[in-house]
Amino acid sequence: MSARRRPRDPSSIAGGVAVWLCGVGVVALALWLIFLVAGAGLPDFLRTVVSPPVAAAIWRSAAIIALALPVTIAIAFFAGIAGAEPNLGGRTAAWLDTMLPYGATIPAVTIGAATSLAWLDGFSGVRDLVRSHPVLSIAAALVVLNLPRTTLRFRSILRAAGERWMTAALAAGADALFALRTATLRRAMPGLVGATSACAAQMLGETALAAIVLALATGGALTIASPAPFAVHLWMQLQDGARIGDPSVASQALLLMAAILSLRLIGELLAGRRARLAA
């Protein structure tokens, strides 16, 4: 019996309407939240951006991303290649397949705790290094946090871009390196650029891990005066709840959101441009 002849199931229609409303509701909620932070943060925006503590926190975030991003991208890129191309990955690819879902879902606070405990149990030289270079320590911890997630993204992009092309190139007699360079990477480049931008945005917004490592590096309780990256600087002001009415805090929230959205937008624009060039 065809679906047309069956009596129309009212629950399916109600479910469809509910799902549709949920999608529209999420859009409305996101728009409302954007307008909320924009309305509260815009009046004091310029003055907040140029204020010394905020500018210093932004520079620290930029330094952390400049240190952590290239290392993360380089390692994740090669690991992604191993995961995407069984010819190159061998048994390691299967092992990576098994472990990646676990690595990508470990909470940041757990990695922060484990990293801190490992450093505390480690050599005194490592402890001294952490104390003397908080920015470097936060960057190292961010590499550990973001490696599985970025590798997962890179592997998916490389797999999706190159599977059939790689097979065709290998069948035509090309070696794996040539096929990877000419078939897979060229087609995957837009996605890889987008994933790199997403990784930078993730690093900019990471709060819990950076706060834990910073507390370890400074050797005590975090305060507003601690040399924190931007997201942690904002988070510490929110913690006591007393400054929620402060327009400067709203401006910082708006700045953080704008920076992250800009990073994602730049990534998508670059990805789109590269996609047109690669076509």
Partner 1 sequence: MRSAALRFLTAIARTCAAGVALIPIAVAAALIWNLSLALGSVPAHLLTVDFFRRVAFTLEVAAGAGIVGGGAGVACAIAAQELVVAPLRGLVASAVGYFGIMPAAMYGWYALRLAGPLIARTPPSPFVVFVASVALLSLMALPTACALASRALNRVPDTVRHAAAAAGATRIQTTALVVVPALRRSMAAAAAAAVGRAAGEAAAMVVLLSVLSRASGAAHANVASWILTRATESNLASAPSDVAPSALLLVIIAAVCAWFAAREQRAMQWAEAPV
Binding to partner 1 (CB under 8 A): which residues in 217-276? Answer: 219-222, 231-232, 234-235, 238-241, 244, 249-250, 253, 256-257, 260-261, 264
Tell me: does residue 141 bind partner 1 (CB under 8 A). no
Distance CA(132)–CA(61), nearest Å, equals: 17
Tell me: does residue 65 bind partner 1 (CB under 8 A). no
Of 66, 95, 132, 277, the one binding partner 1 by CB under 8 A: 95
Residues 79, 96: contact at Cβ < 8 Å?
Answer: yes
Tell me: does residue 5 bind partner 1 (CB under 8 A). yes
Radius of gyration of the chain (CA): 23
Size of the site for partner 1 (CB under 8 A): 112
- Packing angle between helix 247-278 and helix 186-205, nearest 10 degrees? 170
| Dihedral of the alpha carbons of 235, 239, 240, 245, in degrees to the nearest 10 | 50
Of 137, 206, 271, 274, the one binding partner 1 by CB under 8 A: 206
Give the pair of three-digit tokens for residue 262.
């800009």
Tell me: does residue 45 bind partner 1 (CB under 8 A). no
Nearer to partner 1 (CB atom), residue 112 or residue 134? 112
Tell me: does residue 82 bind partner 1 (CB under 8 A). yes
Of 188, 193, 212, 217, the one binding partner 1 by CB under 8 A: 212
Shortest gap between Cβ of 277 and partner 1 (angstroms)? 23
Contacts of 36 (CB under 8 A, 6+ apart): none
Of 161, 205, 217, 271, the one binding partner 1 by CB under 8 A: 205
Q: Which of residues 106-135 bind partner 1 (CB under 8 A)?
A: 106-118, 120-121
Tell me: does residue 102 bind partner 1 (CB under 8 A). yes
Distances (CA, A) of 35 to 41, 201, 254: 10, 21, 10
First to last CA, the chain: 46
Surface-to-core class of residue 127, CB atoms within 10 Å of its CB (0-12 exposed, 13-18 middle, 19+ buried)? middle
Of 175, 224, 272, 277, the one binding partner 1 by CB under 8 A: 175
Shortest gap between Cβ of 30 and partner 1 (angstroms)? 4
